[in-house]
Amino acid sequence: MPYWQYYYNPTPKAKAGSYRRKYGTSWWGNAFLQALGRMDHSARLGRGKTYANKGLVEELQNHGNGNITAKVQGSRRAPYRIKIDWKPLSTNERKRILNLIREDYALMGRLLAGELPQGLVSRLEPWGINLFPRDWNELNVSCSCPDWATPCKHEAAVFYVLAGEIDADPFSIFGLRGLDLRTELAEIFGGDDPGAGEVEILTLEDTLQPIEGELDYFGWSQDLAKRLDFGGIPQLNEQTLSLLPDNPPFDSVTDFKKQLDYIYARATTQAKKFLKAKQDFFAESEVLRATVQADLLLSGDLADATLSLYDASDEPTLEFVSEEAIVNFLGSLDGVDEMLLCDDLRGLRLCFQFARQLAARGAFVPQLLYRESKEDFLLRYLPANNDPFVAGQNDLVAALVAPGILYYDGPEEKLEWEPTAATNQIIATLLATIIRLGLNYKTEEVPARRLFYLDGAVSFDLLGTEKFPLAIQQWLNRLYLADDRLRPVFKVEEQGDAILVDILVVDRDKPNKLPKPIHKVLGKKKMSSAEFSLLRNLGQLSDHFPQLIDILSGDDPPLRFSVNEFTPMLKSILPLMENFGLTVVLPRALNKLLRPRLGLSASSSGSDLPSGLLSLDNIVSFNWRAAIGDETLSKKDFRKLLKNSSGLVRFKENFAYLDPDEIAELIKKIDSGPPVLSTAERMQALFTEEFAGQKVELDTQLKQLIDEWRNGPPATLPRKLQATLRPYQQRGFEWLYANARFGFGSIIADDMGLGKTLQVITLLLKLKEEGELVKAPALVVLPTSLLGNWANEIQKFAPELDYDIYHGTGRKLPPKEEPLDVLLTTYGIARNETATLNKRNWRITVIDESQNIKNPKAAQTKAIKRIKAPLRVAMSGTPVENRLLDYWSVMDFTLPGYLSNQANFTKTFANPIQRELDKEVADRFKSVTAPFMLRRLKSDKSIIDDLPDKVIQDENCHLLPAQAALYQSIVDENLRAVEQSEEGIGRQGLILKLLTALKQVCNHPKQFLKQSGPSFSESGKAQLLKERLDGILAAGDKTLIFTQYREMGDLLVEMIEAEYGLQVPFLNGSSSPKQRDAMVERFQKDRSCSVFILSIKAGGTGLNLTAANHVIHYDLWWNPAVENQATDRAYRIGQEKTVFVHRLISKNTFEEKIDEMIKSKRKLAEMTTGTGETWIGKMSNRELAELVKM
């Protein structure tokens, strides 16, 4: 190898992590380079930029007093040594600089804000003080390289690195001249406060805040949840960017604001993809029911997360090991009934919904973190809490997230985060995932971009970038001004024709103290770190509020403006101060600034009662209504006012703001003629008296019509009704009748057990009394399992109604000449025989358990909607509002077109409410649907007062054909044996054997046949049980199920676990005391344990099961005293809810007749548990045959 290769490397390679960048991006950094350029007569300065960009400046030290040394890697193996002696500032020059800054808080505020004030430079020049070099006599430079010219490329490289440092920190220009300005100012003003004037970067370790001691009890608060309104989150990305200066020094390749703007844009796009995506609900409801706990584990750099779900036994149910999988899972919970979710999952879903909406609205801000354990930097995005609305929603979310979810995989141990800090980090983690997905996990070589793109931790260890974290923090401080202890308050007052603006200061640590005038806070010889921060903040605010410079420079507030001069202050500057999260106090006249607006007026062209939506739509017309504030103006006056004025103007006792562009748009609307609204929009505007946020004014005729519908005299009850309605039931009937009278359909969605069937039967009986069912009867469509129940309730409460059942083999529609008021049929028949049913005219169609038409694309739904009837009523016991697309399908049956088509409904209501938690849209939806949907809960105060402590309901079902055939064969075979037997114990045994067999067939054929693998579809009673369980579980209630038979209990466990994914305890005679206690404790305390099956003998006494507010007697005991004892497991001291008792009875079987016999006995009190079933075994042959026949 030639000897010269040991000393010569013609092309030095770029250092790892180096990148091309610009220098002199600030005016002061640029001034430094321009000063050097004026001294560089041979134009050699630019040659050093390549060396600087390659990171070849390996060492740079400021030894003080203008003495600077550096090492630069050049063509030789050993780096070249550079020495710079910059003429230091003299003692007098230093004093003059310090005195100027001390006397002018505006200069100090700008410096503390990270900016070299041009005013300072210009005021120093008359004294001959130049901060930038003028010739090489002031800047003596030498390099150990062979190049004799000045500057050589190595020296030039050092100058560029110095320019980068000066860009990042204007205090550097003083430090290079021997004046440590930051320290001097802190000593002069800060006294003994070592933190005065320092810019602090929050450490990751400070944010962790591990939990200490026991966690407080957490319970989900529905009252707080109702206050959530993510739809009210404003679009903040442009606002946030407007608060930040252009061209921050820590990137300098381009204006970094464009990079942040790009991040906002990609995050918004990704969030909207989530919001617009077809809802893919998480299908494994059994997993959700079983889950009682969720843990979210974050990696040390916050970049990776794992979500683990656990059941009550602390066994894992699901695990997601990537952030993308986590957000996809949480997104799939959007429309899932909250009753399926444990508190941890509710909170995590809420955090995702919040993060998604923050991303969609650009309502998040970056926060820099320093990780002490690794000496590197991280960045996270948090809610933009400088906006008060976002801050309020953030507080609500934090209050609704259970503690103990988030863990951090720290360097030494796994830490559990304090609840409030944990919620912030959960939101930050979900925001980060949305942002990374939007950026497609983009990476960059520029360290600041890597940091903001969330591409892991970043170390600013490349020479010339060490001060970038300080510059980033200075840049981002503007987004956190409202978090500081001392905050400016801008108070506006009227004084005659003038408007005054005063600047006060409020102290967060002294909330009971009145704000102080600004000169009393800053007019001190010594300042605390909080006052230094206030001064820095005011310096930053002066970029947007130039008049602050005058106040900081010594002018006494308040500022004085004419009304005309105040317009830009009111419309631009003060709103910007609020955007910083600061308080602006306005007088009432300015606080409620009036704006011109267009509303709607509605008028009627007819006076007759409408016969439905279409006929009402035909008589209503809409026109524009012009107004300012609450005052309506004629179109002529409106035009005149808008034409002659603009900006801020006085309007009577108030101020109005007239924007020329808005005015032109309003006049254009007026000139375009009456508004064009769809039928759905017109009817919604009419019923809510509101459209697009503006009031709709009704004419007198329409007001009378709507008032008669809403507030007309209550309907009288049908004379032949054989029932006493509870007050809330009577109100429900009156509501149904009022809607029916106007031709409007209704959805009655009262909680299960509140008597919807009775209320609808009362309506049908009223229609009969008024002759409405003579030519066209009522059609009632039900699940098969409810046919018996409806028939039983009609017979019991409205025997005057002539009803028939269209079901079973050989079914035929009753001839038109036969009296018929009500026809009962099933969904299956209605689906398959729509054409047959449409051969009759129907006055009203009623559907029970209307969730059967929740899927608008299903053939059954389409068939039901094709059945013609002028009036339609839907009944539902499940909370229809949980899945709004289901709601739309049902409402489209009762009031076709009222909620527009499915696509418009999804866009207008479903997505904003369910995904965005938009309270304004939710309130509008309630007002739009309230006239036609009635839902009362058992927990409503008005209902509780009407209900007894215990409601007992007999619920009838029919045997399925296969069941009926098996039932009849058992009767035929066993009845002969009984008839041929002699009186005595043997005969009694045969009777009980027969009745036991029949009871088992009524329960489920597989119980009698001793077979496994049962399903709900094989038994009419099992189908009825499923209907009840659907409602109970959907409402988040708990139930006990009693059965006489161990075998039936096993079958019930098998069916319920297969259908609902629940772990169902079964207490029976073989359960040990320890097992019994464990089952009881789990049912009482575990939210996922909603169903408890008990054999009536093992569980009938001695248990306290007040967690249940439903009791289902699957098969009835021969003796009501035993049944009552079982019921009292739930209905006892400690029960805070009404208990609903469901007695399942197979209609037209011996079960129905046994129940009638028991009820007919007048001395039930004498029937103790000891009497058993002996009375049944003593029946005669004739009585027995009558009892068991179908």
**Per-residue model confidence as pLDDT tens digits over 842-889:** 999 999 989 899 888 899 999 999 999 999 999 987 655 557 888 899
Asked if residue 144 and residue 238 are part of one domain, the reply reads no
* Mean pLDDT, residues 948-977 taken together: 87
Of 93-97, 497-501, 688-692, 917-921, where does mean pLDDT reach its minimum?
688-692
DSSP state of 583: E
| 1162 domain residue, yes or no | yes
Give the span between the Cα atoms of 1132 and 84, in whole angstroms: 91
One domain for residues 1039 and 1174: yes
Residues 248 and 337 in one domain: yes
Highest mean pLDDT among 738-752, 768-782, 1103-1117, 1161-1175: 768-782
Three-state DSSP at 587 gives coil
Cα separation, 646 vs 574, in Å, equals: 19
In a domain, residue 1005? The reply is no
Q: Assess if residue 1185 is contained within a domain.
A: no
Q: Check whether residue 823 and residue 722 sit in a common domain.
A: yes
Mean pLDDT over all residues of the chain? 85
Rg of the chain in Å (alpha carbons): 40
How far apart are the C-alpha atoms of 576 and 595, rounded to whole Å?
A: 20
pLDDT value of position 274 = 87
If asked whether residues 429 and 551 sit together in one domain, one would say no
Q: Are residues 856 and 825 in the same domain?
A: yes
Q: CA 1022 to CA 1010: how far, in whole Å?
A: 16
Q: What is the pLDDT of residue 244?
A: 94
Domain end marker among 135, 160, 190: 190
**Whole-angstrom distance, CA of residue 1101 vs CA of residue 1049:** 18
Nearest to 42 by CA among 183, 167, 151: 151
Q: Region 423-427: what's the mean pLDDT?
A: 94
pLDDT confidence bin for 2, thresholds 50/70/90: very low
> pLDDT band at 1143, cuts 50/70/90?
very high
Mark whether 575 and 535 lie in a shared domain.
yes
Query: Amino acid identity, residue 348?
Result: L
pLDDT band with cut points at 50, 70 and 90 for residue 521: confident
Q: 230 with 258, same domain?
A: yes
pLDDT of 842 reads 95
Confidence of residue 739 (pLDDT cuts 50, 70, 90): confident
What is the rounded CA–CA span in Å between residue 647 and residue 667?
Answer: 17
Can you tell me the distance from the alpha carbon of 380 to that of 961, in angstroms, rounded to the nearest whole number? 65
Does some domain include residue 1183? no
Question: Using CA atoms, how far apart are residues 331 and 421, in angstroms rounded to an integer?
Answer: 23
CB-CB contact of 349 with 228 (8 Å): no
Q: What is the pLDDT of residue 1171?
A: 42
- Give yes or no for a contact between 831 and 863, defined as CB atoms under 8 angstroms apart: yes
Q: Which helix (H) or strand (E) segment is 396 a member of? A: helix 388-399
| 976 pLDDT tier (thresholds 50, 70, 90) | confident
Q: How many CB atoms lie within 10 A of CB 686?
A: 23
Alpha carbon 1173 to chain centroid distance? 57
Instruction: State whether 184 and 230 are in the same domain.
Output: no
The pLDDT value recorded for residue 798 is 96
pLDDT band at 1175 (very low <50, low <70, confident <90, very high): low
Q: Where are the alpha helices (DSSP H) in 1014-1105?
A: 1020-1034, 1046-1060, 1073-1085, 1096-1099
Q: How high is the pLDDT of residue 1172? A: 44
Looking at the predicted structure, is the pLDDT value of residue 201 above 60?
A: yes
More confident residue, 1024 or 633: 1024
On whether both 724 and 859 belong to a single domain, the answer is: yes
What local confidence, expressed as pLDDT, does residue 729 receive?
Answer: 92
- pLDDT higher than threshold 70 for residue 794: yes
Q: Would you state the pLDDT for residue 18?
A: 85
Per-residue confidence (pLDDT) for residue 280, from 0 to 100: 66
In the predicted structure, residue 1178 carries a pLDDT above the cut 80: no
- How large a percentage of the chain has pLDDT more than 70? 89
Whether residue 719 has pLDDT greater than 50:
yes
Residues near 875 by Cβ (< 8 Å), separated by ≥ 6?
Answer: 747, 748, 749, 756, 757, 760, 846, 847, 848, 849, 850
pLDDT score of 845: 97
Confidence check: pLDDT of 259 > 70: yes
Average confidence (pLDDT) over 753-779:
93
- pLDDT on residue 1163: 38
Structure tokens at 395: 């507080």
Omega prior to 558 cis, within 30 of 0: yes
Please give the average per-residue pLDDT across 1127-1151, as a whole number.
80
Out of 894, 909, 944, a domain closes at: 944
Q: Comparing 1090 with 943, which gets the higher pLDDT?
A: 1090
Mean pLDDT of the region 542-557: 83
- Quote the pLDDT of residue 1168: 38
pLDDT at 5: 43
Alpha-carbon distance of 467 to 793, in angstroms, equals: 82
Residue 780 near residue 825, CB atoms below 8 Å: yes
The answer, yes or no, to whether residue 105 has pLDDT greater than 80, is yes
Confidence category of residue 6, pLDDT binned at 50, 70, 90: very low
Better pLDDT: 480 or 216: 480
- pLDDT for the residue 1132: 61
Among 454-458, 687-691, 814-818, 1149-1153, which stretch is predicted with the lowest mean pLDDT?
687-691
With vertex at residue 374, the alpha carbon angle to CA 369 and CA 375, rounded to the nearest 5 degrees, is 65
1004-1018 pLDDT, tens digit per residue, is: 999 999 998 899 999
The residue with tokens 């006397």 is 103
Instruction: Give the pLDDT band (50/70/90) at residue 999.
Output: very high
Residue 1065 placed within a domain = yes
Closest residue by Cα to residue 846 from 756, 722, 958, 753: 756
The mean-pLDDT minimum among 3-12, 216-225, 763-772 falls in: 3-12
pLDDT at 606: 59
State how far the Cα of 53 lies from the Cα of 160, in Å rounded to an integer: 9
Residue 1151 host element (H or E): helix 1150-1160
- Mean pLDDT is highest, among 421-435, 642-656, 1068-1082, for 421-435
pLDDT value at 213 more than 80:
no
Would residue 800 count as lying in a domain? yes
- pLDDT classification of 127: cutoffs 50, 70, 90: very high
Do 78 and 154 contact (CB within 8 A), yes or no? no
CATH number of the domain that residue 1096 is part of: 3.40.50.300
pLDDT (average), residues 45-70 = 93
Structure tokens at 309: 């779900």
Mean pLDDT, residues 131-136 = 93
Please determine, for residue 585, whether its predicted confidence score (pLDDT) is greater than 70. Answer: yes
- pLDDT reported for residue 1109: 87
User: Distance of CA 1180 to CAs 984, 1084, 1184, Å?
Assistant: 12, 47, 6
Q: How many domains does the chain have?
A: 6
Confidence of residue 615 (pLDDT cuts 50, 70, 90): low
Q: Give the tens place of pLDDT for each residue, 262-305.
A: 999 999 999 998 888 776 666 677 788 788 889 999 888 888 89
- Pair of tokens at residue 1161: 């006995």
Q: What average pLDDT does this structure show over 1071-1081?
A: 86
Handedness of CA 162, 166, 167, 168 (dihedral sign): positive
Q: Return the top range by mean pLDDT from 3-17, 374-388, 675-689.
A: 374-388
- List the structure tokens of 1004: 């489920």
Give the CATH number of the domain where residue 756 resides.
3.40.50.10810
CA–CA distance, 992 with 982 (Å, rounded to integer): 15
Token pair recorded at residue 73: 């890697």
Share of the chain above pLDDT 90, in %: 41
pLDDT score, position 364: 98
Q: How confident is the model at residue 610 (pLDDT cuts 50, 70, 90)?
A: low
Euclidean distance between the first and the last CA atom of the chain, given in angstroms as a whole number: 112
Structure token pair of residue 339: 């009753």
pLDDT at position 645 is 66
Average of pLDDT values for 30-35? 96
For position 621, what pLDDT does the model report? 67
pLDDT of residue 876: 86
Residue type, 759: Q
- The answer to whether position 247 is within a domain reads yes
Q: Which of 438, 453, 480 is the last residue of a domain?
A: 480
Give the least confident one: 116-130, 280-294, 597-611, 1076-1090: 597-611
The predicted pLDDT at position 881 comes to: 52
Whether the pLDDT of residue 612 is over 70: the answer is no
Please check the confidence at residue 924 and state whether its pLDDT lies above 80: yes
Lowest average pLDDT, out of 134-143, 686-695, 799-808, goes to 686-695
- Full domain range(s) for residue 60: 4-190
User: What pTM was estimated for this model as a whole?
Assistant: 0.78
The residues, any chain, with a CB within 8 Å of residue 398's CB and separated by 6 or more, are: 419, 420, 423, 424
Q: Are strands 871-875 and 746-748 parallel, antiparallel or unpaired?
A: parallel
Q: Are residues 614 and 747 in the same domain?
A: no
For residues 90-117, average pLDDT: 91
Judge whether 793 and 822 are in contact, CB under 8 Å.
no
Mean pLDDT is lowest, of 124-133, 494-503, 684-693, 919-928, for: 684-693
Residue 968 lies in a domain: no
Residues 146 and 218 in one domain: no
